[in-house]
Amino acid sequence: MDNNKRELLIGVLKSGIAAIPHVGEALNEVLFEIRGRIAQKRLNDFTNSLLSPFMKKNKAKNSSI
């Protein structure tokens, strides 16, 4: 299945689940959104840890001026 069809199918499935009264949004969160949030948090943590030494050097350089 090509990527466009897969994304379309996921979108339709998410919309269908969200239409379920009272529990649809919770199911949507559990089935689809949590993985994306975990991946984004990992990426943000990695980026921050990578930039941290450079920010410290820049801060020390600016404070000595």
Rounded-to-integer distance, Cα 41 and Cα 35, Å:
10
Give yes or no for a contact between 26 and 17, defined as CB atoms under 8 angstroms apart.
Answer: no
pLDDT tens, residue by residue, 18-32: 899 989 888 888 888
Q: First CA to last CA across the chain, in angstroms?
A: 59
At which residue do the structure tokens 């001026």 appear? 65
Domain positions in the chain are 3-63
- The arithmetic mean of pLDDT across residues 32-46, rounded, is 90
Structure tokens that stand for 17 in this block: 């689940």
Which bin fits 6, alpha (ψ -120 to 50), beta or left (φ > 0)?
alpha
pTM of the full structure: 0.52
**Average model confidence (pLDDT) for the chain?**
86
